[in-house]
Structure 1
Amino acid sequence: MSNKKSALWFVIFLGVVSLCADATYEGARSITGAYLGSLGASGAVVGLVAGFGELIGYGLRIAIGFLSDRTRQYWRITTLGYAINTAVVPLLALTGTWQAAAGLMIAERTGKAIRTPPRDVLLSHGAMQVGRGFGFGLHEAMDQIGAVAGPLMVATMLSWQLGYRGGFAILVIPAILGLVVLLVVQRIYPNPRDFEPVTADLDTTGLPRLFWFYLGAIALIAAGFADFPLIAFHLQQTGVESTSQIALLYALAMGVDAIAALVFGRWFDRVGLWSLIVAVALSLGFAPLVFSGSFSWAIVGMVLWGIGMGAQESIMKAVVAGIVPAQRRGSAFGIFNTGYGLAWFIGSALMGMLYDYSRGALILVSMALQLAAIPALIWVSRQVRREP
């Protein structure tokens, strides 16, 4: 088997692991906002819990990234993270207070923090063989197949009148399946670094300056992106549709996410960062639609939301892999995700507070932050093209 074909299969196998993991935690996330509301949480609490979970989840990644690069134990750390990430989700079926549910939601984000930097390093080696945009885009697309399947599983349980607990309990199936596949794939591919030629790392003083400017631009996008738990809370509070239909709406967004990841990822390999710039321009209009009070407009808004998420998840990491040497990529992914998560936390907390105060202000802030990122991304794109 050629090196490129073997790398492609490696990317696919990692995608299957992520598919199962996403089915588990995205299935839960499709109803956690509404679930917290049913347990008595306010809009501010939902926004803060969602944002704090992202803060912990992303903040821990900086330490995990450095640890991964120092120990080179990418597979072991990845496995530990996936185990925590998926194991706590079915336990939500046993909770009876919003505080307990919030604790498990934060624990799930912690597991994701542990496995993401080393997993992304492993994935980057295969992506270098098949095309960075395509490799990360294919992985994200498979992620989102799981993110569609999970909410559909939950919606089915809700439609069968098994309630929130039944919805959380069914997710034990993809959780176990994903861990089994992960253990198998690391035996087949013990050294994914072999996919990528070894290059000398002459600059040992830190990460490239361009990396930091790029992180600043992405932070603006993250801060302006409303998290789905707040959107679900809004739909529940306005009585737009039933809980099962909210889960289906999330499944729709994840399906769009999968398609966008492939399309924009492949486009990135041809035109570079302009693919992300176009995606941001499209997705910044989601806020006025999803918070309009109309379920029909909310559907359109979630399509735009899915486009933004898909393009971000595939292209953002592909750019980092291209501007940072392999030897420091775990640290770079950890720092990048920490900055992204901090911005997401600030944005989520602000959105939750603005929701209780003025949805109009929420919409304006969301759009303004994303719009501000576009000039910065254009500058980064020009600098990348100038580099040898």
Structure 2
Amino acid sequence: MAVTRSAPIAPTAWRVVWWFGFVSLAADMVYEGARSVYGPVLAALGASAVVVGLVTGAGEAVALVARLAFGPIADRTGRYWSLTIVGYGLTAVCVPLIAIAPRLGAAGLAFASTMILLERLGKAVRSPSKSALLAHVASAVGRGRGFGVHKALDQVGAFAGPLVVAAVVAVASLWWGMAVLAVPGAVAMVLLLTLRRRVPDPSVYDVSPAPAALEAPVPSRGWWAEAVGSGLSADFFRYAVAASLTTGALVTFGIIGYHLTVDGLLPVAGVPVVYAAAMAVEAVAALAVGSVYDHTGPRVLLLVPVLVALVPALALGPALVAVLGGVAAWGVAQGVQDSTVKAVVADLVDAPRRATAYGVFAGIQGLFAIVGGVTAGWLYERSVPALVAVVAVTQLVALVLLVDTFRRSARRFRAG
């Protein structure tokens, strides 16, 4: 008598959301642990504030602009999982390699900068695909809550990674702090490959599948047309510009960490501890704002420009208490930008073009990020009050654009 094997039971939607979160938790230990000391790392290799702003701003730009290519590639090929795996792999490899930078002499700064940019490229490779996969699963639990819980788990790693780095820096050196991050990188890859095997098609969790007309293959467009978002709505682009103004104007932690170190406000080992605290704030903000978004709609995002405007006014001052307040504002703004902001994109764009939309959205953010990073570094060395004023003006424009966007697209946003 033949024995038949029953098909394995698919994990619940919430379990998959949590599993994605655990992958991000381990990966965030790697790149957020490193990111917490990018300012001191680059300073130790001879970088100025302008160079720190350029490298960290360019890193954010690469992580965002390159999605213009990888979003359409994901939608055209359907290789969402492959791109996600390759992207995480770049992060797991490049960050620990920064540890060898001081052994390279004069080339050390260029090497470390290259590794930072390659790690950020990994973010660009994986993010549109990962967000598209997660959007399917999160629709079964509420996209605001799903992205919020994912971001909260992500931030547990972002909190733990800097603390690990701080401990290693305190007892060994800055460079050993980079090397130890190879361990959570390996854990992230094992978890990701296991999840891929268990859930090969996350779209089965989508509670609102696209109608038949939308399930057909996406109409053939040239690569450039895909990259610039041909066919995406005016509401989407208006929202993308508004959100990108907040991204570009949010001073990078590289500049804040540089300020803390160079101005003697904290020892190097204390900088990642401050960053870890910011990550904890970011996690709470992602959960809280995601829940509010599901009940009230996108109006909660009007808080972001206000927070972004506060950051340089507080975080780049001479008093440590004010700096810590600015870092807290930075953490809340980061948490909303990296979670609930994405939920709005999922509501504005239909599933067959969602990865493309995430790529276009991130590309626009990236263009603003590199301009913002260089400008912040340049103004920091010349006039912090001027930097504060420039950020405030851009956030007023962002606030006006967000209000206009949410009014125009009110019918598309329904709480819950």
* 2:203 equivalent to 1:193: yes
User: CA offsets, 1:276-297, max 9 Å, x none?
Assistant: 1124324421211111111111
Contact kept in structure 1, 2:347 and 2:412, CA below 8 Å: no
Partner amino acid, structure 1, of 2:84 = T
Contact 2:309–2:388 (8 Å) recurs in 1: no
Cα distance in 2, alignment partners of residues 312 and 348 from structure 1: 17
Q: Does 1:30 align with 2:36?
A: yes
Cα displacement string for residues 139-179 of structure 1 (whole angstroms, at most 9, x for unaligned residues): 1111111111000000000111x111110011111100000
Q: Distance in 2 between matches of 1:63 and 1:240?
A: 41
Q: Does 1:343 align with 2:368?
A: yes
Q: 2:183 aligns with which of 173, 180, 197?
A: 173
In structure 1, list runs of 5 or more residues that go unmatched: none
Is the CA contact 1:273–1:377 (under 8 Å) kept in the aligned structure 2? Answer: no
Give the partner amino acid of 2:266. Answer: E
**TM-score, scaled to structure 2:** 0.90
The answer as to whether partners of 2:348 and 2:412 remain within 8 angstroms in 1 is no
> Alpha carbons of 1:282 and 1:59: their partners in 2 closer, same or farther (altered >3 Å)?
closer
What secondary structure, in the 3-state scheme, does the structure 1 residue paired with 2:362 have? Answer: helix
Residue 318 (structure 2) aligned to one of 270, 293, 318? 293
- Residue identity opposite 1:40 in structure 2: G
* C-alpha distance in structure 2 between counterparts of 1:84 and 1:278, whole Å: 34
Matched, 1:327 2:352: yes
2:89 matched to which residue of 1? 83
Counterpart for residue 313 of structure 1: 338
Q: Show the counterpart of 1:246.
A: 271
Note the C-alpha offset of 1:74: 0.5
Aligned-residue identity in percent: 38
Moved more, 102-111 or 374-383: 374-383
Aligned equivalents of 2:143 and 2:398: distance in 1?
22
Aligned residue in 1 for 2:19: 13
Q: What is the alpha-carbon distance in structure 2 between the residues aligned to residue 101 and residue 360 of structure 1?
A: 31
Assess, with a 3 A threshold, how the Cα gap between structure 1 residues 72 and 209 changes in structure 2: closer, same or farther.
Answer: same
In structure 1, what is the equivalent of residue 288 of structure 2?
263
- Do 2:260 and 2:266's aligned partners in 1 also have CA atoms closer than 8 Å? yes
Of 274, 282, 288, the residue aligned with 2:299 is 274
- Deviation at 1:339? 0.6
- Kept in 2: contact 1:272–1:381 (CA 8 A): no
Partner of 2:50: 44
Q: Which shows bigger deviation, 278-287 or 85-94? A: 278-287
Q: Given residue 230 of structure 1, which amino acid in structure 2 is its aligned partner?
A: I
- Letter of the aligned partner of 1:120 in structure 2? S
Question: Displacement, 1:385?
Answer: 1.7
Aligned-partner Cα distance in 1 for 2:303–2:378:
29
Aligned to 1:152: 163
Instruction: Report Cα offsets for 1:208-246 as digits up to 9, x if no partner.
Output: 211011011111111210000011111111111111111
**Match among 51, 65, 72 for residue 66 of structure 1:** 72
Amino acid at match of 1:183: L
Alignment correspondent of 2:122 = 111
Instruction: State the shift of 1:191 in Å.
Output: 0.5
1:373 to 386, 392, 398: 398
The alpha-carbon deviation at position 4 of structure 1 amounts to 11
What's 2:132 paired with?
Answer: 121
CA distance in 2, matches of 1:9, 1:384: 32
For the aligned residue pairs, the C-alpha RMSD in angstroms reads 1.6
* Distance in 2 separating the partners of 1:387 and 1:297: 40
Larger radius of gyration: 2
Distance across 2 between alignment mates of 1:283 and 1:142: 23
Moved more, 172-181 or 47-56: 47-56
Contact 1:285 1:301 in 2 (8 A): yes
Aligned length: 385
User: Structure 1 stretches (4+) deviating beyond 6 angstroms?
Assistant: none
- Return the alpha-carbon distance in structure 1 between the equivalents of residues 335 and 11 of structure 2: 25
How far apart in 1 are the matches of 2:355 and 2:83? 12
The question of whether the paired residues in 2 share the 8 Å contact of 1:223 and 1:366 is answered with no
With 367-376 and 211-220 compared, the bigger mean Cα shift is at 367-376
Q: Would the aligned equivalents of 1:287 and 1:367 in 2 still touch at CA under 8 Å? A: no
Give the superposition deviation at 1:374.
1.1
Do the aligned partners of 2:250 and 2:308 also contact (CA within 8 Å) in 1? no
Task: Letter of the 1:45 partner, please give it.
Answer: V
How far apart are the structure 2 equivalents of 1:229 and 1:355? Answer: 12
CA-CA distance at 1:5 after TM superposition: 7.7
Distance in structure 2 (CA, Å) of the matches to 1:135 and 1:283: 25
Residue of 100, 104, 116 corresponding to 1:94 = 100
Q: What amino acid does structure 2 have at the position aligned with 1:42? A: S
Structure 1 SS opposite 2:74? helix
TM-score (norm 1): 0.96
What SS is found at the alignment partner of 2:66? helix
Which residue, 231, 246, 249 being the options, matches 2:256?
Answer: 231
- Secondary structure of the residue aligned to 1:207 is coil
